[in-house]
Amino acid sequence: MTLDDVNRVDRTGFVAALGGIFEQSPWVAEHAFAARPFASVDDLHTAMVAAVRGASDAQQLTLVRAHPELAGKAAIRNELTADSAQEQTAAGLGACSTSEFAQLTELNARYNAKFGFPFILAVKGYDRAGIIAEFTRRVEHDRPTELAECLQQIATITRFRLQAMLAD
């Protein structure tokens, strides 16, 4: 698919093509559709992020909660979306040592207990040690700071996904 295709497709096709960019949240694509035509992938991404920023607190929290834990239950049960599975695999999370897996399991439990949503990190460019270090640092945040960080991480993840999907 190209950006030109995105600019020509009808609303249904647009949402079908881009509805999964924001994890299990096709409403983001639905809201961004009205901003067409897009001059670049960056413009498309900006419109989608604006839809998230303009969403209610409840919608934003639902978006955050739609993301899987890193090396968590969904990964173990092979229930990740294709994009999430590829991202976690590329970061080496499927090859955790017993110690790393124990650390991630403990951090996931602490994080979820404290914040009520999963830890989100755009893992591209991180190795397992870096992911664990970032996780350890961020579990100390307060909830508003961490929710804002998660939304920023989602914006980064979706930029990578759009760039991989579309030729500008």
Query: Which of the residues 31, 45, 67, 141 is marked catalytic?
Result: 67
Q: How many helices (H) and strands (E) does the chain have?
A: 10, 0
CATH number, residue 126: 1.10.3330.10
pTM of the model: 0.89
**Helix, strand or coil, per DSSP, at residue 37:** coil
Containing domain of residue 96, as a range? 68-153
The encoded tokens of residue 26 equal: 């096709």
Does the annotation count 67 as an active-site position? Answer: yes
Phi, psi of 167 (to 5 degrees): -90, 120
Question: What pLDDT score was predicted for residue 132?
Answer: 95
For 40-54, the pLDDT digits (tens) are 999 999 999 999 999
Triad 160, 135, 42: Cα angle to 5°:
20
Residue 93 is classified by DSSP as G
Does residue 161 lie within any of the structural domains? no
For 33-84, the pLDDT digits (tens) are 999 999 999 999 999 999 999 999 999 999 999 988 776 654 555 665 677 7
Which of 44, 62, 80 corresponds to the end of one domain?
62
Which of 46, 62, 78 corresponds to the end of one domain?
62
Locate tokens 């404290």: which residue?
114
